[in-house]
Chains A and B, each alone.
Chain A
Amino acid sequence: MTVTKHIEMRGVSKAYRFFTLQDISLDLEPGQVMGFVGPNGAGKSTTIRLAMGLIAPDIGEIRVLGCRMPENQAFAKRDVGYVSADMRLMPNATVGWHMNFAASIYPGWDADYAATLVKRFNLRPEQGARSLSQGEHIKAALLLALARRPRLLILDEPTTGLDPVARHEMLTEFMDVLRDENRSILFSSHNTVDVERISDRITFLDRGRMVASSDKEGFLDRWRRIDVQLPQGAALPELPHIVGRASDGHFHTLTTDQFSELQLARLGNAVRNVHRMNLEEIFVANVMHHRESRP
């Protein structure tokens, strides 16, 4: 039995005058959280907009909840909640008006859950959207998406502009969604700590290309920084899978994307230390390596 993937992209490209998104292929399975990481202008939002059917790819295939995008987006979107940081509620309407409106169009609207979220996010239904702060605006938009209980949540920078407490509340809500193994989340963020914490799969984007896409534990397991001090007159031995090197006299710091005992065996006594890397360090090393090999 094959389970319908929640997002499936195959060889997707989209060209603009000053930016080209190239050859994006990725899968999001039910029950998973996928984190998108990339510098500004990497193509995160473009990829998300393609997944939402807001723009059509030049080439490639996109399926969301089994529906071809953008052709069948109306059907798919009944079960997709979308929030982006630049989303705006109607300025002249209150938060409560938006909730009533969402309740009238989405059959899955959960009024009890919506009421709980209002309290948890510290929102006031009678408040007009115009007077909401940036953080409150995002929280209100997230509330509207979450209370529909969609199978797939697509969130473009959902925690940007939130204070640490609000961010924590947000992550708690996201993980609560994942108690249900038929639901999934795709989210982009600059905050690699958040991504590292809650993602099952991580996709790195840079300059319109996919640098890597893998399960998180795999990333964290494979990357290491090796501190080396060579003895007098010795040269650094040839090592496989070294993607970065900083040298200073006898001291070398090597970065590997496929750590193995073989590397340590070749270095022998010269190894001073082996460090694990966090997601941010891996991301930066990965991007620098790819930029070097594709200037």
Chain B
Amino acid sequence: MYSGIYISQTDARPMYLQIMEQIRARIAARDWPAGKELPSIRALAAALNVSVITIKRAYLDLETEGVIVTRHGKGSFVADVNGLAGELQDQKLDEHLSGAAAIAKQMGLSAEELAARLRRAMKETK
């Protein structure tokens, strides 16, 4: 079922790191797209013949890295990193724009004058 993931006995790295690396690779290759549900901890443990605590450790660390998201009682999912990044940038832009608007007001600039400055700034960053 998940036979693509394997544990090497001659690999000096601990088993949980081997599992993490193979999951990361699948996500990076888009084989496991954002939002995809990961196998349950027990199912993956049974498929790999590896203890539950080892899979738990791997999932926990992937969660800390922000690669996967675990919803209690629902399971673990591949994190929607691009969506998350987009949302965060949107928020950041709004903050800067309202900051600019506040300064423009202090300086007595009109909306048109501010927009003209913004257009010039966009041209310069190109």
**Which A residues are within 8 Å of any B CB, using their own CB?**
31-33, 168, 171-172, 175-176, 178-179, 181, 193, 197-201, 215-217, 220, 275-276
A-B residue pairs in contact (CB < 8 Å), sample of 23: A32-B52, A33-B51, A171-B49, A172-B46, A172-B49, A178-B42, A178-B45, A179-B42, A179-B46, A197-B15, A197-B50, A197-B51, A198-B50, A199-B51, A200-B51, A215-B53, A216-B51, A216-B53, A217-B16, A217-B53, A217-B54, A220-B14, A276-B12
Contact of B49 among A175, A181, A216 (CB under 8 A): A175
- B24 at the A interface (CB under 8 A): no
The main secondary structure of chain B at its interface with chain A is: helix
**Which B residues are within 8 Å of any A CB, using their own CB?**
7, 9, 12-16, 42-43, 45-46, 49-54, 57
Contact of B53 among A171, A175, A200, A275 (CB under 8 A): A200
How many contacts A-B (CB < 8 Å)? 49
Residues of A contacting B46 in the complex (Cβ-Cβ under 8 angstroms)? 172, 175-176, 178-179
Residue contact B9 to A178, C-beta cutoff 8 Å: no
Residue contact B49 to A197, C-beta cutoff 8 Å: yes
Question: Given known contacts A171-B49, A193-B9, A276-B14, is B54 in contact with A216 (CB within 8 Å)?
Answer: yes
User: How far is it, in angstroms, between the C-alpha of A193 and the C-alpha of B46 when the chains are bound?
Assistant: 17
User: How far is it, in angstroms, between the C-alpha of A200 and the C-alpha of B15 when the chains are bound?
Assistant: 13
Residues of A contacting B43 in the complex (Cβ-Cβ under 8 angstroms)? 179
With CB as the reference atom, state the residue of chain B lying closest to A177: B46
